[in-house]
Amino acid sequence: MTLREECFPVASAPSRIVIATRQSALALWQAEHVKARLESLYPGLEVSLLGMTTEGDRRLGSSLAKIGGKGLFVKELEAALMSGEADLAVHSMKDVPVNLPDGFVIAAIGVREDPRDAFVSVHHASPEALPLGAVVGTSSLRREAQLRARLPGLRVQPLRGNVQTRLRKLDEGEYHGVILASAGLKRLGLEARITSLLSLEQSIPAVGQGAIGIETRAGREDLAALLAPLNHGETAWCVYAERSLSRRLLGSCTTPLAGFARIEAGEARISALVATPDGLRVARTEQRAPWSAGGAQALGEAAAAALERDGAREILASLEAGGGA
C-alpha cells in the first residue's frame, strides 16, 4: 500500500490539484513549495498553479491601511476556490484576515520560517546606527510604531511593492534603511541582504508572520486528508493563538498590533503589543501558560485582555477617531 492509499481511499483521492496563488516572486515560491511537498508525498498526483493578480497587487502604490487591508490579497484567490477553478489557495498567514468568509477554512499551516523583522541597509549596521533624521522605509504600521517608540529621531516613510522593488528603492538611495520580514528574504535566497535581525523584544512580529497557510473550501474532506501531513502542529497552535488575540482586538493592517506565540519546554508564551503609529502610546504584554492542545484561544484572549487593561481600547479608539497617526 502506498502512502497515498494509506492516507485515504484511492476512490476518494483527487488525481489533480490546482493551487491558486498571487504572482509575486514570494507568493510563487510559497505555492511551488506546497506543490513540491504534495508531489513528493503523493507520486502521480498532478499539481498545477493558477497565478492571479489580486486587488492588493494592482494597488501597490497605495497604503494598505487606506485601501481596505490585507484581505485584498486573498479575495480573488477565494473566488477561484468558490468557482471551482482552484482547489487550494496558498497564503502568507499574516495576510489572511482573522475572520474568514463563510465556506472557507485554513486546512493546513506549514512549519514557520524565522518570524523576526530584518533591517536592510547599504551603509548602516542597525537602526540604532542610523543618524538622526535618517529615512527608514516600511509598509507596516506595526513596524513603524515599534521603531518610532525605540528611536524617535528617525523618519519613517511608506514603502510598498514586492521584495525586489523595496530593495531596489533602498539601493537607489531613497531610504537609509528598510525593514522587511526575514522569512521572505530567506525564502527568496536573499538572506545575504539582511544587515541585522531585530530581536523579538525590539520588534514583535505580525500575527502569523513567517507561516504559510493553505486555504480550501469547507467540507472538502478529501483535501483535508491530503493536506494533513503538511500541517505543522506547533506552528498551527501558535498562529491560532495569535489570531485569537487579533480577533478579540479586531486587529487589521490599520491597527499597529503585534502578536507572536511560541512553545518552549512545555510552556506556551505570547508577546503582544498595540500602539499608535507615532509610537507615543504603547500597550505591551507577555502572557504564559502551561501548553495544552486546546489552549491556543485562551492564551490569545488572555493577552488581549492584558492589553485592554493596559489601555489598548483607548489606543484603538484614538485610531478610529484619527488621532493616532
The sign of the torsion formed by the CA atoms of 302, 259, 242, 319 equals positive
Strand partners, 52: 22
Cell output for 41? 508525498
Sign of CA dihedral 103, 109, 113, 115: positive
Handedness of CA 279, 283, 288, 294 (dihedral sign): negative
Task: State how far the Cα of 74 lies from the Cα of 255, in Å rounded to an integer.
Answer: 19
Reduced to 3 states (helix: H, G, I; strand: E, B; else coil), residue 110 is coil
Q: Percent helix, strand, coil in the chain (nearest 5)? A: 40, 25, 35
The answer to whether 87 and 78 are in contact (CB under 8 A) is: no
Sign of torsion over alpha carbons 57, 58, 61, 63: negative
Q: Which residue type does 229 have? A: P
| Other beta carbons within 10 Å of 5 | 11
Backbone angles phi, psi at 56, to 5 degrees: -60, -35
Please choose, from the candidates 244, 264, 146, the residue with its C-alpha nearest in 3D space to the C-alpha of residue 201: 146
Q: Which residues pair with 283 in a beta bridge?
A: 274
H or E element at residue 311: none
Neighbours of 232 (CB within 10 A): 17
Which residues are identified as catalytic?
95
What is the C-alpha separation between 57 and 22, in angstroms, rounded?
8
